[in-house]
Amino acid sequence: MRKLENSELERLSVEGFKAVEKTPLIVVLDNIRSLNNIGSVFRTSDAFRIEKIYLCGITATPPHKDIQKTALGSTESVAWAYAESTIELVQKLQADSVQVLSIEQAENTTMLDKFTPKPNQTYALVFGNEVKGVSQEVVNLSDGVIEIPQYGTKHSLNISVSCGVVLWDLFSKLN
């Protein structure tokens, strides 16, 4: 078995990415501290043709060399915007008929493997701070909470890993 060269992967150009139909998923980063995590989320969002990323609160914005280090140029392909208040953004998205789901451990969560996305529904997925998670105020406003099942001794996954797991799962279910 031979590894494929990058030139054999038939990837979209940035212009092609911007023109192609997107997966009806929006990523909301709620006060993410690590620039490497932010870059990783951009790269994963590019891989699954995510509609948009919202960078909220203390979450840094491109261009920044530490975001670029892990984003590998995906800040140019994936649409993004900054919102100072995650709460106000959630309310605006809900007013636009977007269903907001926090990715968190909370009471009455739906486990990711049991969640079935509805066709023709856009979802905003809120990922929280590396230490504090999604703020309680945002969890309270959310239309639901999705939890990634975990079976080891640790209580959480890195935010960039969580994002990859959730986006892949929903992308697979939607396609």
One-letter amino acid identity for 163? C
In this predicted structure, the answer to whether residue 83 has a pLDDT above a threshold of 90 is yes
pLDDT digits (tens, 9 = 90+) for 155-166: 899 999 999 999
Q: What is the pLDDT of residue 155?
A: 87
Local structure of residue 172 (DSSP, 8 states): H
Q: Distance (Å, rounded) from C-alpha 84 to C-alpha 82?
A: 7
Which is it for strands 23-30 and 123-128: parallel, antiparallel or unpaired?
parallel
Domains of the chain: 20-174 (3.40.1280.10)
Q: What is the pLDDT of residue 47?
A: 97
Peptide bond into 63 cis (omega under 30): yes
Give 13's contacts (C-beta < 8 A, 6+ positions apart): none
Q: What is the pLDDT of residue 124?
A: 98
- Indicate the average pLDDT of the chain: 96
| b/e burial code for range 145-175 (CB count within 10 A of at least 16 → b) | bbbbeeeeeeeebebbebbbbbbebbbeeee
pLDDT digits (tens, 9 = 90+) for 89-147: 999 999 999 999 999 999 999 999 999 999 999 999 999 999 999 999 999 999 999 99
In this predicted structure, the answer to whether residue 72 has a pLDDT above a threshold of 90 is yes
pLDDT digits (tens, 9 = 90+) for 33-60: 999 999 999 999 999 999 999 999 999 9
How many residues would you count in the chain? 175
Mean pLDDT of 143-154: 96
